[in-house]
Amino acid sequence: MKGVKYKRIILKLSGEALAGNKGFGIDKTTIMNIARQIKTLNELNVETSIVVGGGNFWRGKSGVGMDRTTADYMGMLATVINALAMQDALESLGVYTRVQTAIEMRQIAEPYIRRKAVRHLEKGRVVIFAAGTGNPYFSTDTTAALRAAEIEAEVILLAKKGVDGVYDSDPLLNPDAKKFEIIEYKDILNLGLGVMDSTAASLCMDNQIPIIVFGIEQPENIVKVVMGEKIGTQVRE
């Protein structure tokens, strides 16, 4: 494991990260490129778990005029589609994976059981956490924070589409936006930075789980971050 900085990680992939330039759905080349990076981590014996988002299909807030809870359940189901696609991509490369869902759907995946998830990781399987936390009014960023605390992951890799770290203002709107190399959780909360929701940031802060925010346009960043290269922004105490 020479050169590997973390032994157990959670990689949070937003739904958009899987859509590539299509912006919607799943782009085969994009998902395979990400899967190859995860395979490398697996070969380096990094215990890798993944939380997938669903925004490439549906977000709760897409359901304007709908019951919020229903719209959120639709979002959680969208994450399951992505989880199965990710599993398929990884298994096509020979990486053993298990999908665990926070909402039971036993015909297609295991239910989330923390001890089982940890056992899979110890056996060298990649675990994909789907259906968010299973509760409306939460996000998959919060899911990543929750699962990281539960399985005692050392770090959350927050892979972002369209932005390569945490900035003091939206870099897409403000060309003078300044990127942080390191930022404290409380500053994310106090400055109201939109890189993650406040529930996710507080959960990480309360449990001292470091987050590394980086761009997924270069999928090789995933391995680089785990090898300790300084990429993106580190969020910590």
Contact residues for ligand UDP (CB under 6 A)? 14-16, 53-55, 59-60, 71-72, 75-76, 78-79, 132-133, 135-136, 138-141, 143
DSSP 65-87: TS-HHHHHHHHHHHHHHHHHHHH
Q: Which is nearer to ligand UDP, 45 or 207 (CB)?
A: 207
The overall longest dimension of the chain from CA atoms, in Å, is 53
Report, in Å, the least distance between residue 205 CB and ligand UDP.
Answer: 19
**Spatial contact of 152 and 124, defined as CB atoms under 8 Å apart:** no
Q: How far is the CB of 153 from ligand UDP (least distance, A)?
A: 17
CB 43 to ligand UDP: min, Å: 26
CB-nearer residue toward ligand UDP: 47 or 141: 141
170 in a known ligand binding site: yes
98 assigned to a ligand binding site = no
Q: CB-wise, 15 or 165, nearer to ligand UDP? A: 15
CB nearer ligand UDP, residue 79 or residue 221? 79
Type and span of the H or E element at 175: none
Residue nearest to ligand UDP (CB): 53
| Nearest distance, CB of residue 125 and ligand UDP, angstroms | 23
Annotation-wise, does 167 bind a ligand?
A: yes
Minimum separation from the CB atom of position 5 to ligand UDP (A) = 24
Q: Write down the least CB distance from residue 3 to ligand UDP, Å.
A: 29
Q: How far apart are CA 55 and CA 7, in angstroms?
A: 29
Which of residues 53 and 210 has its CB atom nearest to ligand UDP in the complex? 53
Task: Give the count of beta carbons closer than 10 Å to the beta carbon of residue 236.
Answer: 16
Separation of alpha carbons 105 and 81, rounded Å: 12
Q: Which is nearer to ligand UDP, 124 or 197 (CB)?
A: 197
194 belongs to an annotated ligand binding site: no
Q: Tokens 């605390």 belong to which residue?
A: 149
3-state secondary structure of 219: coil
Give the contacts of 74 (CB within 8 A, at least 6 positions apart): 58, 60, 63
| Pick from 69, 197, 66, 43: nearest CA to 137 | 69
Residues 6+ apart with CB under 8 A from 122: 47
Give binding residues for UMP as ranges: 54, 72, 133-140
Give binding residues for ATP as ranges: 12-15, 55, 59, 167, 170
